[in-house]
Structure 1
Amino acid sequence: MMGWNLDFITEEQFKCHVRATIMKYGEKLESYDLKRFNSNLIDPIKLIFDKSVYRTSWEEIVNNEIFRQRDKSSNNDIGYFHQNIFSYFKGCEVPQAGWDVIYRNPEGIQMPDGDIVHTIYVEMKNKHNTMNSASSAKTYIKMQGQILEDDDCACFLVEAIAKKSQNIKWATKVDGKNVQHRLIRRVSMDQFYAILTGDDEAFYKMCMALPGVINSVVNEEDSVEVPNDTVIDELRNVASLYTDQTEELSMAMAVYMLGFNTYSGFGNKIIQRLGGKNEGMLKRIYEYAKRLG
């Protein structure tokens, strides 16, 4: 195993932070059953279009939808990783409120335009395009207020996924007017790491260490519970209620019932159109629909 080459965080600290981030995934690591799968109401027609257009199996399209649902709510957890790692960096504080990160250096921090400041106040975003105009204006005004209060500081909007590596004046609009200030800056994550550590490749080195540490944590006994999703099996059980139909149409019916179980033309009428007269089958389908809520 290669030696640890991150000077700004120990291997044990990094592993601890990765473990805490994985634990933040919380309920997203819980297994999906059919009710949870449909808790935000699946669009059955989109699911069927996607399956056909992308030429995937039912299992693939269902698993993709489960992944999408998990992924939709995981950005905050990755935000936790990006923000809270700085609690291990020399001179950094991760406050409970106010700013995402505050960095202080009594020896001074040189800005690209030549200014020397001793504190940087940071607002952090996962991606460069996640702020609307109102949010941008509010954040900029907050930064303006901080600089008026403390003329020995700079304010950074740090973006984990910026358009490019950069440390530039943040130009935006407030009340319809173009504004910018040399001490209010948009900074990509790699350049923020460089400011804190003095190493231009610090962020790169962290990224290179990350996969191995994640795998190490995930493979630790009982550290991460592997989800056991049952959605596709439950859908197949429902599809089996629609006898004398092709497997494809039976699965389509099970998917339709996720979103349309109370719609006109579904339930007993759809069974009649399929040629089904079995009252027991009808009762079981109604029970299924009721369980989906």
Structure 2
Amino acid sequence: MDWNLNFISEEDFKKHVRATIMKYGEKLESYDLRRFNSNLIDPIKLIFDKSVYCTSWEEIVNNEIFRQRDKSNNNDIGYFHQNIFSYFNGCEVPQAGWDVIYKNPNGIQMPDGDIVHTLYVEMKNKHNTMNSASSAKTYIKMQGQILEDDDCACLLVEAIAKKSQNIKWTTKVDGKNVQHRLIRRVSMDQFYAILTGEENAFYKMCMVLPQTIKEVVNEESGVKVPHDTVIEDLRKVAVLYCEKDDELAMAMAVYMLGFSTYMGFNDTVQPELGTGKDEMLKRIYEYVERAPINR
């Protein structure tokens, strides 16, 4: 494809996409029953969700696996949003302090007419991820920076903002509404525009991203495709309850993940699981690992 991003080279962009994918790391590892239940799932919720949304066991289990992976992937996407600026002219991504610092010796025009030469940036993935205490703390930090350096502005940049914007950030500190013309709330598209001078720079980046990700995944031998075995593992446990109908047998397999020691459930222990002193859940995992696949 033709490369039309003037603010980052194709080589650097692909390098950054590759680094982001590598950040996924262990989250690309396959899920078995032990890993699936490592933080203890809620069997009641899983069964409610399956019934209310009229999905199959395969679908509801795969959705839960996706949810678990997605929960830890947000930090990796934050890495993508923040560290791409290390390739932009005038930008620095410090190890601590600020997420991004941008310096322009020619001056940076602010919406209210001020011209500054440095921007100090805090980044958030979504507009609603800061509580009142965090907002106040960040605002006070920005106030302190402006008192220390009167030739700067401070930006709260949001990757997913409610709308495209570059506005004064109004928040509460000690119960009072505060704002300053050099402390601003900026959407990601507007931030790209400030840094590059191109109104559609963020849009252009988004247009080349899918193909670049595809190319990197195809090229990178270290990117593994997960093979999850959770549904097969649950079916192995369900076989132990074959006297029940198929639906309830699978429900029992799910229940045993969270309730194996609960009264009533511990009376349903099957001979195949053994009678050792180990915790019941551990015995279930060990049984799954040695039992043949049942389809």
Q: Please give the range of the TM-score, normalised by the shorter of the 2 chains.
A: over 0.9
Asked if the contact 1:260–1:266 (Cα under 8 Å) also holds between the matched residues in 2, the reply is yes
- For 1:288 and 1:141, how far apart are their aligned partners in 2? 52
Note if 1:92 corresponds to 2:91.
yes
User: Match for residue 271 of structure 2?
Assistant: 280
On the 8 A contact 2:24/2:76 being kept in 1, the answer is yes
Aligned counterparts of 1:7 and 1:176: Cα–Cα separation in 2: 45
Contact 1:35 1:291 in 2 (8 A): no
Counterpart in the other structure of 1:147: 146
* 1:169 to 2:168 alignment: yes
1:266 paired residue number? 265
Moved more, 220-229 or 70-79: 220-229
Deviation (angstroms), 1:280: 2.3
Equivalent residue, structure 2, for 1:19: 18
Deviations 1:76-99 (A, max 9, x none): 000000000000000000000000
Amino acid at match of 1:105: N
Q: Is the 8 A contact 1:242 1:250 kept in 2?
A: yes
Deviations 1:20-60 (A, max 9, x none): 00000111111111111101111001101111111111011
Alignment deviations for residues 165-194 of structure 1 (CA, whole Å, 9 cap, x no partner): 000000000000110000000000000000
Alignment pair present for 1:240 and 2:239: yes
TM-score (normalizing by structure 1): 0.94
1:70-109 counterparts in 2 under 5 A?
70-109=69-108
Instruction: Give the match for residue 124 of structure 2.
Output: 125
**Aligned to 2:7, what secondary structure does the other structure show?**
coil
Q: Is this contact kept in 2: 1:217–1:223, CA < 8 A? A: no
Equivalences, count: 284
1:125–1:159 Cα contact (<8 Å) kept: yes
1:284 positional shift: 7.8
Contact map agreement 1:34 1:292 (CA 8 A) in 2: no
1:62 corresponds to which letter in structure 2?
A: V
Alignment pair present for 1:180 and 2:207: no
Report sequence identity in percent. 81
**Distance 1:292-1:72 versus aligned 2 partners, 3 A rule:** farther
* Residue 281 (structure 2) aligns with: 289
Assess if the C-alpha contact under 8 Å between 1:24 and 1:77 holds in 2.
yes
Query: Partner of 1:254 in structure 2?
Result: 253
Cα 1:204–1:284 change in 2 (3 A) is farther
Q: 1:240 to 1:122 in 2, by over 3 A?
A: same
Q: TM-score normalised to the size of structure 2?
A: 0.93
Deviations 1:213-251 (A, max 9, x none): 000011115131011111111000000111222111110
Match of 1:35 in 2: 34
Bigger Cα displacement from structure 2, 20-29 vs 216-225: 216-225
Contact 1:91 1:105 in 2 (8 A): yes
Which ranges of 4 or more aligned residues in structure 1 deviate by more than 3 Å?
A: 284-288
Q: C-alpha distance in 2, partners of 1:193/1:160?
A: 11
Query: What is the aligned partner in structure 2 of residue 276 from structure 1?
Result: none
SS at match of 1:178: strand
CA RMSD of aligned residues (A): 1.6
Matched residues in 1 for 2:275 and 2:76: separation? 40
Aligned equivalents of 1:18, 1:61: Cα separation in 2? 30
Contact 1:170/1:181 (<8 A) preserved = yes
Partner of 1:199: 198
Find the residue that maps to 1:151 and give its secondary structure.
coil
Helix, strand or coil at the partner of 1:107: strand
Contact 1:94 1:102 in 2 (8 A): yes
Name 1:275's counterpart in structure 2. none
Q: Note the residue ranges of structure 1 that are not aligned, 5 or more in a row.
A: 272-278
CA contact (8 A) 2:273 2:283 kept: no
Asked if the contact 2:93–2:101 (Cα under 8 Å) also holds between the matched residues in 1, the reply is: yes
CA apart distance, 1:204:
0.1
Deviates more, 1:237-246 or 1:80-89: 237-246
User: 1:274 corresponds to which residue?
Assistant: none
